[in-house]
Amino acid sequence: MLSAAPAAGRSPPVVSTATTLSAGPGVLVGATWVWEAPPVLVHDLPTPALVVDADALDRNVARMAEVRPGRALRPHVKAFKSTALARLLDDAGHRAFCAATPRELVGLARAGVGDDLLLANEVLDAGRLAELAAATADGVRVTVAVDSVETVEAAATAGLGSVLVDVDVGCFRCGCDPADAGRLAELARDRGLEVRGVMGYEGHLMLDPDDTRPDRVESAMALLRSAHEAVGGDVVSGGGTGTWQDNTWVTELQAGSYLLMDTTYAARGLPFEQALSLHLTVVSASARGWVVADGGLKALGMDRGNPSADDLDVLYCSDEHTTLVRHDGGPPLPRVGGRVRLRPAHVDPTVAYHEVLHVARGDEIVDTWPVDLRGW
Ligand SMILES: Cc1ncc(COP(=O)(O)O)c(C=O)c1O
């Protein structure tokens, strides 16, 4: 059950459902974050706090939609895991979504966001697939990726209506041999499934240098196109933020990171802004030349390295702390009680650590979006 945030000055509602999580001066009730007293400014947020710059996000949405409007984009929910952000994309005309987990799609289906939902991942769990099939309302299409006899069988058994044949285009991850795609499509049709086409994710090329990437994307997509000839169907799905301009072969681009961005993609010089930051409080200062802020590995995806800090250098992150030193020629270190803003190196795992995204315009908090699509 959803409950609205209380008006200022009123007592918070008593919450006793099993879906309630408690974290500081607010609670997550179903898919709604309920504050005891909503903070007004970014500086008032309890830390660690993940903050979305709403203006930058709006510009990212618009920039991508110029090139990939409507169904030419199938935004990937894994990058933000929030029904509220997905709804914003739905309002901007993107009604097809893709996801990495059944949980992400079940959440969207139950919230009535999107009308064409793709599980762009191989899932064998009969219970989760059946839950996904059951969550789907009339007028909403659910499609799952298959790359083996077993995944075709799992989709058919769960009562899911349609599939895309997932093709290995060189990423060393899921996907069948392109030469096997036609056989799998036939098998799926024999099991009563609609085969809508193919997908193939060239994830290994997202950070490839500018001088080699276009040709390598073309070669990867040649594999997908050959599979598509054997499979049939209208859909050729693939690509991501890193190949948003190179990949002109897919009928729908599966980008997700472009919305909030991270320092890894920013280093590629893409025209999307970093809309996500982690706000911390300095809790300790050493006379030996460093300060310690109150969030680290458990608040940041670190597989792509350290986060970056405004005007400071990150020495290292540990479980609950980030140690920062003065940047050469930069301002003095903040005092105990001061705030630090970090830019994560990898958006997807960073968001997955948090219960809410605080939405800010300038310094003002204008909304709080639960990260309600976490889990599997
Ligand atoms: C299958 C698939 N498609 C698309 C994407 C989105 O890529 P990006 O993060 O570059 O937007 C991912 C990300 O890992 C993915 O796994």
**What's the pLDDT tens digit per position in 111-126?**
999 999 999 999 999 9
> What pLDDT score was predicted for residue 24?
53
User: Same fold for the domain at 40-52+273-370 and the one at 69-254?
Assistant: no
What local confidence, expressed as pLDDT, does residue 138 receive? Answer: 84
Share of the chain above pLDDT 90, in %: 88
Homologous superfamily (CATH) of 40-52+273-370 is D-serine dehydratase-like domain (2.40.37.20)
102 Cβ closer than 6 Å to some ligand 1 atom = no
Tokens of 350: 């960073």
Centre of ligand 1 from the C-alpha of residue 344, in Å: 17
Residue among 122, 173, 254 whose CB has most ligand 1 atoms within 8 A, to mutate: 254
d(CA 288, ligand 1 centre) in Å: 42
What's the rounded mean pLDDT across residues 198-222? 98
180 neighbors 152 (Cβ within 8 angstroms): no
In this prediction, residue 29 carries a pLDDT of 76
**Under CATH, which architecture does the 69-254 domain have?**
Alpha-Beta Barrel (3.20)
120 lines ligand 1 (CB under 6 A): yes
Task: Return the best residue to mutate from 74, 76, 147, 221 for the ligand 1 pocket (most ligand atoms within 8 A of CB).
Answer: 76
Q: What pLDDT, on the 0 to 100 scale, is given for residue 6?
A: 33
Which H/E stretch holds residue 339? strand 339-343
Q: Return the amino acid letter for 283.
A: V
Contact 188, 180 (CB under 8 A): no
Q: Tens digit of pLDDT for each residue in 13-30?
A: 323 233 344 445 778 777
Q: Ligand 1 atom closest to Cα of 199?
A: 1
Q: Which of 26-30, 85-89, 92-96, 181-185 is the least confident region?
A: 26-30
What tokens does 155 get?
A: 């989709």
Ligand 1 atom closest to 78 (CA)? 13
Residue nearest to atom 9 of ligand 1 (CA): 257
Instruction: Evaluate: CB of 345 within 6 angstroms of ligand 1.
Output: no
Residue 17: predicted pLDDT: 31
Angle CA(238)–CA(95)–CA(217) in degrees, nearest 5? 15
75 close to ligand 1 (CB < 6 Angstrom): no
Q: pLDDT band for position 321 (50/70/90)? A: very high
| Residue 255 predicted with pLDDT over 50 | yes
Dist CA 4 CA 210 (whole Å): 47
At 230, which amino acid appears?
Answer: A
Residues 77-99 have a mean pLDDT of: 98
Buried b (16+ CB within 10 A) or exposed e, 118-142: bbbbbbeeeebbbbbbebbeeebeb
pLDDT over 90 (residue 2): no
Interval 297-317 mean pLDDT? 97
Domain residues of the chain, as ranges? 1-38, 40-52+273-370, 69-254
pLDDT at residue 320 in the model: 98
pLDDT over 70 for what percent of the chain? 93
Q: Considering the chain, what is the average pLDDT of its residues?
A: 92
What pLDDT is attached to residue 242? 98
Query: Which of 60, 63, 74, 78 has the most ligand 1 atoms within 8 A of CB, as the residue to mutate?
Result: 78
Q: What's the rounded Cα separation, in Å, for the pair 254 and 268?
A: 18
Q: Flag whether pLDDT at 264 surpasses 50.
A: yes
